[in-house]
Structure 1
């Protein structure tokens, strides 16, 4: 018998397998997530003040102030003097009810209709927007989540040491918006940072927007197989390193 034909359904699985192997290897070697390996954590508050009528997701439709644990990181883990895509990971505690957090992962991007889908390396953490890059189900609609720095935000270098120092000096504010097809922008809330937090040595939090999402606020299925495989493999690589260290 000859080799099995390559079907459209098989190609994503192959791609997911390659990405998973790469993520597992990187995480095992680093003892940290494959991407965004090291970061600065801080408490924050997300004041949800939705616009645009009813979204169809209670968390978006009901104004409220929510406690957030954020993590700022550099995607490739490059030294601070070099440009790198920055990640802003948000964990909104109890967004879906007690014990049901919401994770949102944002990456430095452009603001245009095309560039908002592309990661953009920067040397400044507050000079432009952060986007989910891939589409989200936002209530009954589909679009992206984007966080824009407040116009009053100071210049903050993108190195982790500089980010931590900025968080210690004063709060930083970002406007969380929904970017819908056709160019429409809708304000969802305002994120205000608090002082940085120190985690126990060797502890790194894992954010996962597929495991921690809401029925009406979640990533769409496009590329979900590849991304979920990468997250799972990264966690497995870190566990393997922890097991070796514990022996």
Structure 2
């Protein structure tokens, strides 16, 4: 039932992304301008009662990764916009390939974590994955909470859709790490999933159309 209901808004998102690609054919019709930075993720590890069956979340360790910061509509910086984080984690997919996690500015409450929130700067609001993933322990949402105005340090956290957030890592931007816009990287959270996570069918139908339209826009641009 949920999958069928999600088909309609999914088609709306696909149409919106497709129109954006026609009006502004670009590598990324949504989140068109961004900056790519190197980051280091220090993972604490989860206690046994908190573990999700997701190695990246559950296990302690240090990971070198990449983050692309962007604004969804590409509005002037003087105006609020929905900010986005595209996180690429090398070797974190089930087959050893790179995994992608995409987050956008939202609230952190039990309802507001599922609501997009425009913000004036990338460090002035929290980010969440918006839609829940399926994990071996059930539905889970991931978040990144900036600790400063530039979001040079962030806390990564996980929660059930209505549960409390549990911090599992610190993310730190490397000094002087800017490496361009990141336009050449095709972030895709549907194709490049973290080991242990998957999307519910309704969530896949909600998102896949917009990513299909974005892939089409890249082909038109190329």
Name the TM-score, length of structure 1 as normaliser: 0.78
User: Helix, strand or coil for the counterpart of 2:32?
Assistant: coil
Matched, 1:22 2:19: no
Matched, 1:206 2:200: no
**Structure 2, unaligned stretches of length 5 or more?**
none
Distance 1:140 1:12, change over 3 A: closer
Partner of 2:37: 42
CA shift for structure 1 position 108: 0.9
Distance 1:139 1:42, change over 3 A: farther
CA shift for structure 1 position 215: 4.3
Residue among 157, 160, 179 paired with 2:159: 179
User: Helix, strand or coil for the counterpart of 1:174?
Assistant: strand
Partner of 1:217: 197
Greater Cα radius of gyration, structure 1 or 2? 1
Which is worse superposed, 94-103 or 120-129?
94-103
Q: Write out aligned runs for 1:123-162 (5 A).
A: 123-150=120-147, 153=148, 155-156=149-150
CA shift for structure 1 position 98: 7.1
- Output the CA distance in 2 between the equivalents of 1:95 and 1:28: 34
* Aligned pairs, number: 217
**Structure 1, unaligned stretches of length 5 or more?**
1-6, 157-170, 243-247
User: Helix, strand or coil for the counterpart of 1:223?
Assistant: helix
Q: Do the aligned residues in 2 keep the contact of 1:27 with 1:235 (CA within 8 Å)?
A: no
Q: Do the aligned residues in 2 keep the contact of 1:88 with 1:106 (CA within 8 Å)?
A: yes
Q: Do the aligned residues in 1 keep the contact of 2:68 with 2:181 (CA within 8 Å)?
A: no
Which is worse superposed, 14-23 or 128-137?
14-23
Q: 1:142-176: CA deviations, max 9, x gaps?
A: 121011122xx2x34xxxxxxxxxxxxxx811110
Q: Do the aligned residues in 2 keep the contact of 1:48 with 1:60 (CA within 8 Å)?
A: yes
